[in-house]
Amino acid sequence: MSAYDFDLFVIGAGSGGVRASRMASGFGARVAVAEDTFLGGTCVNVGCVPKKLFVYGSHVPEEVEAAAGYGWSVAKPEFDWPTLRDNKTKEIQRLNGIYGNILANAGVELIEGRATIVDPNTVAVNGKQYTAERILIATGGWPKIPEIPGAEHIISSNEAFYLEEFPKRVMVLGGGYIAVEFAGIFNGLGADTELVYRGPLFLRGFDQEVREFTANEVAQKGVKLTFDTNIESVEKQANGELKVRLTDGSERIVDCVMAATGRAPKIDGLGLENTAVKLTESGTLAVNDDYQTDEPSIYAIGDVVGRMELTPVALAEGMALAKTLYNNQPTRVDYENIATAVFCQPNISTVGLTEEQALEKGMRLRIYTTSFKHMKHTLSGMPERTFMKLLVEDSSDKVVGCHMVGQDAGEIIQGIAVAMKAGATKADFDSTIGIHPTAAEEFVTMRDVTRVVG
């Protein structure tokens, strides 16, 4: 019998923590997981799930507008924010219950409360100490608010999901996934929306052509884009409005300022000073290829290690860790060709290398691109366009990057990610017969090279 209370003590019941817990328990380990907020972590509670529900809701006015071209006469829609907000919350509560059942059915002991690390093999929760052979940190990240005058009047995406009233005028600060997605959500739900970003163009790290195309589409849908600018201060007025001063000297009056300027590992007060765990220069937990920190008994996965901050990646890391430690099955996550999506409007999805990344690797590329109006909009009369791009390594004919901006981009790219993971070549794409009429068939009918680079 082990001298420890548990074989594995997991701090954080988000996607990665829950997956690691139940897998390890299934392999015979005695596992406990501590959580001080809600089960399911960022994704379920204040991330991908509620955000996607809001995205669906924000599309409705556009669908109503498009209906006229198909012969439908529909009254102007009226939006009730409390209905969307509260229906979303009910769904999140349902998912919280499911996560609780998953842990219980897997034989994992759930301990509700904030956990702190006492020493390399001891964790304290609610004044009680538990010993464990190994500790896993899976606490995720937390939004960062810029330190500027009036920062107390700025909300993060966390609060945006629970606003008491829906704002008429919104300023979103930031240029990443969350900022671009929420700008589309607020705009689609009827708010006068402006996105402010300190750089020259949002979505840094994505393919340059994708970024440029998306900026045009987002602006066309009504979001005001202000680049190379930052917020200098926010001042609350007597009537509750917010006066925002920008670094270019201009001012705006809005009802809500939301910052999406990055996230930091949620490790404050965790007790890392009682261990040999080290941080990287970016503030994430330093781990080796097996997610082990500099303290041999302590591991970490998910957003807290900052590799790819995506829910499916955290799930894969949790599974790999459990297999390695408790099933005698050494497993490492392959971070190549991981597909991702930005649920802005229109959607972006991508897998593999950007053009810029491929050129940095010294590849000679054949690039195929196409831009067209989706068949749906030939009758709707709406100006939205779709963009697709394939990057092919010329020497091997291998498809090394695939990018799409348009309706259902994530649904389409998921399948292509499988093909790329299997090493598909452009010849494989060309020999695949498309499904007609769909936007997706464009990926197997692009025959003409747009340009050759590298």
Residues annotated as catalytic are 436
Which phi and psi (to 5°) does residue 47 adopt? Answer: -140, -125
Q: Nearest to residue 29, comparing CAs of 8, 3, 10?
A: 8
How far apart are the C-alpha atoms of 168 and 188, rounded to whole Å? 12
How far apart are the C-alpha atoms of 354 and 400, rounded to whole Å? 9
How far apart are the C-alpha atoms of 105 and 100, rounded to whole Å? 9
**Token digits of residue 193:** 């929306």
In this structure, the strands spanning 31-35 and 109-112 are parallel
User: Do the beta carbons of residue 400 and residue 393 sit within 8 Å?
Assistant: yes
Amino acid at 392: V
Give kind and range of the element (H or E) at residue 49.
helix 48-67
User: Do the beta carbons of residue 337 and residue 303 sit within 8 Å?
Assistant: no
Q: Cα Rg for the chain, rounded, in angstroms? A: 24
How far apart are the C-alpha atoms of 349 and 440, rounded to whole Å? 12
How far apart are the C-alpha atoms of 260 and 140, rounded to whole Å? 16
Please report the DSSP string for 160-223 in residue order: HTT-SS--SEEEEE-SSHHHHHHHHHHHHTT-EEEEE-SSSSSSTTS-HHHHHHHHHHHHHTT-
**Token digits of residue 15:** 């996607």
How far apart are the C-alpha atoms of 41 and 341, rounded to whole Å? 19
**Token digits of residue 36:** 């001080």
How far apart are the C-alpha atoms of 151 and 169, rounded to whole Å? 18
How far apart are the C-alpha atoms of 169 and 128, rounded to whole Å? 48
Quote the distance between the C-alpha of residue 454 and its chain's center. 31
